[in-house]
Amino acid sequence: MVSKADWEIAPIRIDPDTTEKLFFTDHEWDTIEAAAARIMPTDQDPGAREARVIVFIDRYLFGIAYLYAAADGSGFLQLADKDAHAARARNANMQRLYREGIHELDKKARELRAPSFKEASEQTQDEVLEQISGVPKPIPVSLTSREVYYSRLQGNTDEGKSFFDTLCLHVRQGFYGDPVYGGNKDQMGWKTVGFVGPKSLKDTMDGTYSTAEFFIQEYDWEDLVPGFKHSQDPTSKQEQDGQ
């Protein structure tokens, strides 16, 4: 078997401006692009449409060739043997979920007297999304309301979710994920929220990309930790002196 440590890198890159469809039909592409634009709308800042979330989703659904970028972003890892087998099985499920989901979007749009989801007004599109989500369209966060939540697993895979929840997660991934995957064009998503991300994945591997400027520059542990004295720990000033 080929170990995960030895997966080959296929030197392929994704052009975010491409209109070449690898998985979707024209109709499916336009439908998902329209839905994504309602999930992450365009306002004074770019939304899913400008960030090319549709390219991101199309490549992901195409198969397993775009599942994992090489660490340095030079291409994509080619899974092998049992890992590839498991990933392909998941991909087949995901393709089915999308095809059925798109069918449902159109069906609900027609029930609201639109010719199709993609041709419906934004208001009707929102109504359809609200219906398939099963809960009212989200309202803005309030600083005065009180809510309680319970713990869940860290990480956020797309397994076992409904079509709507999957699509919402994929839109976030395409808007905020590393641009190497085809979305987040020109780091539009990152700029929208103030995430100062790396220029390339490679820059995260060797110290080129750093968030050091966002740490507190001037501090003294004796002030932050009342009662602590530097004499208790002679190494405590290294980092401060090093700056």
Partner 1 sequence: MKRKMDPVDVVIVGLGAGGGPAAKVLSEAGYKVVGFDKGPWLRPEEHYSGDELKFQNRSYLWPDVNLMPRTVRSDANSEARIFNFSPVPSNVGGGTSHMAGWMPRPRVSDFIFHSLHGDLEGASLADWPYRYEHLEPYLTKVEWSYGISGLAGADKGEGFRSKAYPSAPLPPTRFGKKFYEGSNKLGINSFPLPMSHLTEGNALGRPAVNRTSFWNQYGDPTQTRSSVATTYIPEALATGNFEVRADSFVREVKVGKDGKATGVIYIDPSGAEIEQDARVVILALGAIESARLMLLSSSNHFPDGLANDSGLVGKNATFHEYIFAVGLFDRDMEDPLNGWTGNYQSGGSTHFYETDESRGHIGGGIIATTQIGQAINAIMPGRPAWGQAMKDADRDYFDYSMKIGFILQDMPQETNRVDLDPTVKDAWGMPVARITNKPHANDIAMSKWQIDQNQEILQAAGAKKTVPVYLGDEFTGNACHQQGTVRMGTDPAKSVLNEWGQAHSVENLFVLDGAGFPTALGVNPTLTIMAHSWRCADYIANTYMKGRSERLTLSPIKKS
Residues of span 174-193 touching partner 1 by CB under 8 A: 176-178, 180-181, 189-190, 192-193
Distance of alpha carbon 156 from alpha carbon 84, whole angstroms: 20
User: Can residue 17 be called a binding residue for partner 1 (CB under 8 A)?
Assistant: no
And the tokens for 79?
Answer: 């899974």
Distance of alpha carbon 176 from alpha carbon 198, whole angstroms: 12
Q: What are phi and psi of 139, to 5 degrees?
A: -100, 160
8 A C-beta contact, residue 154 and residue 147: no
8 A C-beta contact, residue 57 and residue 178: no
Q: What are phi and psi of 209, to 5 degrees?
A: -90, 130
10, 12, 71, 92: which one binds partner 1 (CB under 8 A): 71
Q: What are phi and psi of 88, to 5 degrees?
A: -65, -40
User: Can residue 11 be called a binding residue for partner 1 (CB under 8 A)?
Assistant: no
Binding span for partner 1 by CB under 8 A among 24-32, 103-111, 113-121, 161-169: 161-169
Residues of span 93-122 touching partner 1 by CB under 8 A: none
Smaller CB separation from partner 1, 26 or 44: 44
As measured in angstroms, the least distance from the Cβ of 119 to partner 1 is: 20
83, 104, 119, 127: which one binds partner 1 (CB under 8 A): 83
Binding span for partner 1 by CB under 8 A among 10-18, 22-30, 108-116, 155-163: 155-163
CA neighbours within 13 Å on the CB side: how many for 205? 8
Start-to-end CA span in the chain (Å)? 48
Smaller CB separation from partner 1, 12 or 25: 12
As measured in angstroms, the least distance from the Cβ of 116 to partner 1 is: 20
Bin 172: left if φ > 0, else alpha if -120 < ψ < 50, else beta. alpha
15, 111, 186, 239: which one binds partner 1 (CB under 8 A): 239
For strand 8-10 and strand 76-78, is the pairing parallel, antiparallel, or unpaired?
antiparallel
Binding span for partner 1 by CB under 8 A among 24-32, 103-111, 113-121, 218-226: 218-226
Size of the site for partner 1 (CB under 8 A): 101
And the tokens for 186?
Answer: 């020109």
125, 129, 130, 132: CA torsion to nearest 10 = 140
Residues of span 22-51 touching partner 1 by CB under 8 A: 38-41, 43, 45, 47
As measured in angstroms, the least distance from the Cβ of 27 to partner 1 is: 22
As measured in angstroms, the least distance from the Cβ of 180 to partner 1 is: 8
Binding span for partner 1 by CB under 8 A among 14-22, 23-31, 106-114, 227-235: 227-235
